[in-house]
Structure 1
Amino acid sequence: TPDHAEPASARHVAPDEPRATPGQRAAAEAVLRAAAAVLETGADGAGGVAQAEVLRAAHAARLDGLHRAAATAVAAVNGLRAARAADPAYRLADLAGRLRELLATVHRLPSATGAELTALRGTARRAYAPEGSLRLHGLFCEPVVTAGGHAGAVAWTADPEGRLHTVSDVAPGGPARATGAADRAVRLGDTALTHRRLASEGLVVSGATVSEDGRLGAGAGVRAVRARGAGWHEDPLDRLWAEPAADQAVRALSGHRHGLLFLDLVITGAVREAAGDCLLADCGGVAVRLTAADDHPALAYRENIRSLATCPGTPLRAIARLIPAPHARAGLLAVTHPTEPGARLDLGLDRLQRADLPPPAPHHPPGGAASDPAVDQAPVHLLRRRVHQAVSGGRRMLALDRDAAADARLLRRQGLATAADLLGTLHAAAADRDRDTFGRLLPADTAHFARSWLAAAVYTEELDRALCAAAWGAAV
């Protein structure tokens, strides 16, 4: 009878499916408490004691096999340290994203099973699987400078089936190492190709080993020899650009191809933003904002963006990395040369000179070309701002907010009833402080506030993803 029906979770979980061990559940709970304590005070109040508690919980989680939670916790602590040290590379959105991922991982882990549990646990080391022989065609070379003090270069290649493979050389160092590593020989077999040369030529690899994310292993049994590469307009690389940009954006939002987009563009001008100018281009009728893939001044991205903006009407074939936003936006990585057919530019390494640019000419956009009008965007920023305020200033920032009710009404009028409810719940959790018989404040329920914050953060992320897909022209 219905009165004796089992819960849905019990009906759909097989008895022999693996579950988190008691030790893993306890470790996840410890990480959750430590992360909730950080949200309670925010980055402004998360000093050495709070950071040490997160690191202690991360260490215990790693010992219990929760490698993903441990790595995310360490990344969150690095973000907290950057925030408190006023590091120029610090981004509040990045720290909020790390805390969201950390809380979501440990919140879901106790009830996860099967493949989901495996993904939430993570792995200690990257696993490489035998792949046999590979014929690779170079795509581009990307300099890497991380906030954690590592730098190097990554050469991106593709096989005839369109799968992406990378050869990287990233180690402790500064920006000088990023540009220097691009001119060092790749660590793959006996080939003398540098990362920069590999990006424009080809490679035949035998005995190849490949990780799940496409990184090529450099074991003793791997052999590699130089081969002819393919141009971006030649088969098989040309097929990467055949997929519609909207479909690529949807896949990139799911992590497909490392978020890379292969776009055919026509430059239309530049747009001034708070963080600097970005390139405006037309991509099949969609106005795309193209910004520097890395703002580090030692890399050439920003300078090349400014140079390309002076050439409206110039067609380019480009590789960019999707940046989730309510409008079509991507970080530009590599493009075809504006004046030399068949040549390509790695925008982080090569610097465009005036002689490389086509002569200025009046630009008349073709019929149906995209402009960059002021888009009537959904006011999701009202909820996102509260999510970020909690990360920065903690519970007290939201408890004292007097505009929450008005913002909730605005969200509801715009059809975002769920966002309005989450905003109200978040503020209620922030202001929820009981008193004892003598009127003294009782300890705050940090777990309740953390769950409310997590719900708002996850909703904001998913709504941003939907708006991003719609901006690229995908059906949502």
Structure 2
Amino acid sequence: MTVDRLPPVAPEVTATLVEDLSPRLRKRLDAAVTKLGARPTHRDGDTVTIAVDDESELRLHAPGGVVATVDAVTCGCLLAPACVHRAAAACAAPTADPAPEPADRPSRAAPEPASATDPGSASSPEVASPAQRAAADALWSAGAAVLEAGVDGAGAVTRSTLLRAAHTARLRHLPRAAGAALSVVTLLRAARAGDPSYRTADLVTALAELLGTAHRVGTASGAELAAVRGAARRPYSPDGSLRLYGLFTEPVVTDSGHGGVRTWVAGSDGRLCTVGDVAPGGVGRALGVADRAVRLGDSALTHRELGRAGLAVSGATVSPDGRLGAGKGVKAVTARGAAWTEPPLAALWETPPAEQAARALRSASRYAAPDGGGSDLLFLDVELLGAVRESGGTCLLARCEGGMCVRLTVADDDPALAHRDNLTLLAAAPGARLRIIGRLVPALHPRLTLLACSHPTGEGTIDLGLDRLRRADLPDPAAPVHLAPLQPEGSGAHSPLYLLERRVEQTVPAGRAALGMLGDVTAETRRMRRAGLPTAAGLLTALCTSAAQRDRDLFGRLLPADTDGFATYWLAAARYTADVAESLCAAAWQPTQAR
């Protein structure tokens, strides 16, 4: 059985099933999850059946694709419903995303002020309510417990505590913190399952977002509190008539088992918008939806076709992150598109790369409120140089304006998608000049995930996740993959900041205890001070000291570890390294002659 074959389960359902277990069964829960994962499954409509043993079956009923109630998980064993199988199945399944609000449904931008008699209502715009602070404290404690245990110790019970805290936070109108908690749960599950797509850096980012947001709920006020609180709904506002030009279509595959596509379009003024179709289904659904008609008015265009055509829309509604609504009042008809070299699309490539990177960094900041709208996309004219081998695989090196070298990587390594194969073929075409669209990857050197490019023959464009290049499309079809020489990097690439970054990352897999056994870090702190990073040196010392500190009582017995204190030092170190890395990334994108 694989996770992809199980329907997503609502967070509160998993939390309730785990909480209802006896202490004895909770100790057996992780083993039960592993054992259940080896059993065969069968899907019949909205119901997935798992053969627990030769005589018993477990069923997950998912109307609409999501297991939304505790009663939807049933088991036929003799101990049911008090058995461990129901909770194990919920823990093995993906966590369901919150249900989206209808595009044409009115919504409030912020919750109404809390009343003195209703502790569960939303806070006033000025300060968080006591109920919100309590929910944030629960999220902080759950996140600190993950840091204490590490991935190896964060089993199903720890994850269910996070799910319960996330559900409570959503009820208290803290959707941003709740979403961060769900991301942590998803990444923990992927790490423990050995998912090849899992990256420790992703879990570091999610944990820092969770702890940082939970901490700021109690201290923020006014506009800052609104950003920390986030928005549960996507309020669509009327935008009149729009003339849209297709740019490209990208497949979307989420960790929660959802799949689909997102088609990017640009208005006459250069503003970017998206038309999406994402639902439970994984990569298979992403490939199939690309050839379905877009859900926008009466248009018969598929997503692939819209990425190269145009639309005339009347009664348009647009969310703050640039998503086009598909309400009943929206009318859309097919119109002529524009080439990337024609107005208005050509203007997207006229902004200098440094300015585009600065804009993308503001959007991709780990601790800023996401604004979407394509602000993390870069539009560059490049000359391909060839492949470059890295510790994480092979990427494509290209030269853009001002002689700057940019590393281009795949957006998704799933073999069902075309990203990796297309990148390999492009590496066999050194010297080719392409117009590309990529998404910024914050790094100490210019780096993008490659999403779309002009065709090597100069005719049309390629959606690199969906369309597949052929050898015949290259200028020299017989040319082998060309390895580009390593290019000199800026001074930031050799910054000793990594000495603190690796300690922040080491905490996540093995927990606080592993960091506490490192011993003396004087040599590392001395090196950072010499490089002009005294704050980093101080944070490393404080982090390792907090990890190793264990007090004893009068009888010599170890007292409980100070998980809150350690989490505070870890969060400070994670935020510091992120901020410095973003500054170094912005400097790396400056023109060569200006550095």
* TM-score category, normalised to shorter length: over 0.9
Q: Which residue of 2 aligns with 1:347?
A: 464
**CA displacement at 1:361 relative to structure 2:** 11
Q: Which residue of 2 aligns with 1:137?
A: 245
Q: Which amino acid aligns with 2:465?
A: G
CA deviation map 1:274-296 (0-9, x unaligned): 23221100011111000111111
- 1:43 and 2:151 are equivalent in the alignment: yes
Structure 1 residues 72 and 105, CA, compared in 2 at 3 Å: closer, same or farther? same
Q: Which residue of 2 aligns with 1:113?
A: 221
- 1:296 and 2:443 are equivalent in the alignment: no
CA deviation map 1:174-212 (0-9, x unaligned): 322111111100000010000000000100111111111
Q: Which residue of 1 aligns with 2:400?
A: 283
In the aligned structure 1, how far is the partner of 2:457 from the partner of 2:147?
52
Report SS of the residue matched to 2:338: coil
Report SS of the residue matched to 2:146: helix
In the aligned structure 1, how far is the partner of 2:309 from the partner of 2:350?
21
Report SS of the residue matched to 1:158: strand
In the alignment, structure 2 segments of 5+ residues that lack a partner are 1-123, 364-371
Q: Which amino acid aligns with 2:231?
A: T
Identify the match of residue 538 of structure 2 among 404, 421, 426. Answer: 421
Q: Which residue of 2 aligns with 1:57?
A: 165
**CA displacement at 1:336 relative to structure 2:** 0.6
Instruction: Report how many aligned residue pairs link the two structures.
Output: 454
- 1:161 and 2:269 are equivalent in the alignment: yes
Greater RCO structure (CA 8 Å; 6+ sep): 1
**CA displacement at 1:155 relative to structure 2:** 0.6
Identify the match of residue 432 of structure 1 among 532, 540, 549. Answer: 549
Counterparts of 1:386-405 in structure 2 under 5 Å?
386-402=503-519, 404-405=521-522
**CA displacement at 1:162 relative to structure 2:** 1.2
**CA displacement at 1:374 relative to structure 2:** 5.4
CA deviation map 1:435-472 (0-9, x unaligned): 11111111111110000000000011111111111111
**CA displacement at 1:360 relative to structure 2:** 7.2
Identify the match of residue 450 of structure 1 among 563, 567, 591. Answer: 567
In the aligned structure 2, how far is the partner of 1:171 from the partner of 1:371?
42
In the aligned structure 1, how far is the partner of 2:202 from the partner of 2:397?
25
Moved over 6 A (4+): none
**CA displacement at 1:83 relative to structure 2:** 1.2
**CA displacement at 1:371 relative to structure 2:** 6.5
TM-score, length-scaled by structure 2: 0.74
Q: Which residue of 2 aligns with 1:357?
A: 474
**CA displacement at 1:340 relative to structure 2:** 3.0
In the aligned structure 2, how far is the partner of 1:273 from the partner of 1:152?
30
In the aligned structure 1, how far is the partner of 2:568 from the partner of 2:319?
35
- 1:91 and 2:199 are equivalent in the alignment: yes
Structure 1 residues 221 and 374, CA, compared in 2 at 3 Å: closer, same or farther? closer
Report SS of the residue matched to 1:254: helix
- 1:269 and 2:377 are equivalent in the alignment: no
Report SS of the residue matched to 2:332: strand
- 1:152 and 2:260 are equivalent in the alignment: yes
- 1:407 and 2:524 are equivalent in the alignment: yes
Report SS of the residue matched to 2:565: helix
Contact (CA 8 Å) 1:304, 1:347: kept in 2 or not? yes
Contact (CA 8 Å) 1:282, 1:370: kept in 2 or not? no
In the aligned structure 1, how far is the partner of 2:187 from the partner of 2:505?
13
**CA displacement at 1:119 relative to structure 2:** 1.2
- 1:312 and 2:430 are equivalent in the alignment: yes
- 1:70 and 2:185 are equivalent in the alignment: no
Q: Which amino acid aligns with 1:137?
A: Y
In the alignment, structure 1 segments of 5+ residues that lack a partner are 1-15, 363-368
Contact (CA 8 Å) 1:287, 1:370: kept in 2 or not? no
Report SS of the residue matched to 1:101: helix
- 1:246 and 2:363 are equivalent in the alignment: no
Q: Which amino acid aligns with 1:215?
A: R
In the aligned structure 1, how far is the partner of 2:525 from the partner of 2:232?
43
Report SS of the residue matched to 1:320: strand
**CA displacement at 1:402 relative to structure 2:** 2.6
Contact (CA 8 Å) 2:359, 2:375: kept in 1 or not? no
Q: Which amino acid aligns with 1:372?
A: Q
